[in-house]
Amino acid sequence: MKHIPRKRFGQHFLSDHGIIDGIVSAIAPLPGQPMVEIGPGLAALTQPLVERLGRLTVIELDRDLALRLRLHGQLDVIESDVLKVDFTALAQTLREKAGQPGLRLRVVGNLPYNISTPILFHLLAHVQVIEDQHFMLQKEVIDRMVASPATGDYGRLSVMLQWRYAMENVLFVPPESFDPPPRVDSAVVRMVPHAEPAPLSVPVLEELVQVAFSQRRKLLRHTLGRWLEARQFAGHFDTQRRAEEVPVAEYVALAQVCS
């Protein structure tokens, strides 16, 4: 029976075999690697992945799709909202099965556009058990993720993710690659956690960056400057700039001092 895409789940199913081959090549799965796919849908990406891996864990919210996926002998299906999945516990389970305590997860998926950013931040909380991530997202989201300072795309998402990941836009995906076609361009991003990220309080960095970008067109003395004054910050930080002019490393260094 043909599955009808559900708008409430943001379902757009990948159907272009050339794009699928390109994504699988970018991921480069190897036999036995512990991999988790978010939103496998109709298994367009799932099948070539599991053929190379041997076994694959998938997370699917749609009950009908999860039922179909369970019929596949090489898939372990988690029927759940991905935002409720404990990836640290999942990594531990897969480590125990493999008998390799040092294994880290490889995470892939075509993320629903309506909750892509919450998923990225959810995974950020479990980054210590993740080897790498390859996601298809709305192109404008990836543009913001990988943006450089002093550009219009540079913002809160850029800083929060670049602190913890090295990221690369690896593949452009046009709307006609999907069924039904979305109204936006897509792309695939590679995210590799930094081996030795700067130690800091994540809530402090989140608050600092949120305040800084709350009024992008104003100089930071009107926003972050007041935040620093309230915290009795005694160091030096140039607030005669706009938020988008400050490199990630400076935000990170400031968060370290304020943590």
- Give residue 13's pLDDT: 80
Q: How far apart are CA 220 and CA 239, in angstroms?
A: 5
Parse the chain into domains and list their residue ranges: 7-193, 202-258
Question: Binding site for S-adenosyl-L-methionine: what residues are annotated?
Answer: 12, 14, 39, 60, 81, 110
Residues contacting residue 195 through CB under 8 Å, at least 6 positions apart:
none
CATH number corresponding to 7-193: 3.40.50.150
Give the range among 9-23, 47-61, 64-78, 109-123 with minimum mean pLDDT: 9-23
| Contacts made by residues 56-65, CB under 8 angstroms, sequence distance 24+ | 57/90, 57/94, 59/85, 59/109, 61/9, 62/6, 62/9, 62/11, 64/3, 65/3, 65/40, 65/41
CATH topology of domain 202-258: Helicase, Ruva Protein; domain 3 (1.10.8)
pLDDT in tens, 174-212: 999 998 888 899 999 999 999 999 999 999 999 999 999
Stated length of the chain? 259
**pLDDT category of residue 11 using cuts at 50, 70 and 90:** low
Which amino acid type is present at position 29? P
In the numeric block, which tokens belong to residue 57?
């864990």
Give the chain's mean pLDDT: 93
Please answer whether residues 123 and 107 qualify as being in contact, where contact means their C-beta atoms are separated by less than 8 angstroms: yes
| pLDDT at 117 exceeding the cut of 70 | yes
- Give residue 7's pLDDT: 45
- Give residue 49's pLDDT: 97
Question: Binding site: what residues are annotated?
Answer: 12, 14, 39, 60, 81, 110
pLDDT in tens, 86-98: 999 999 999 998 8
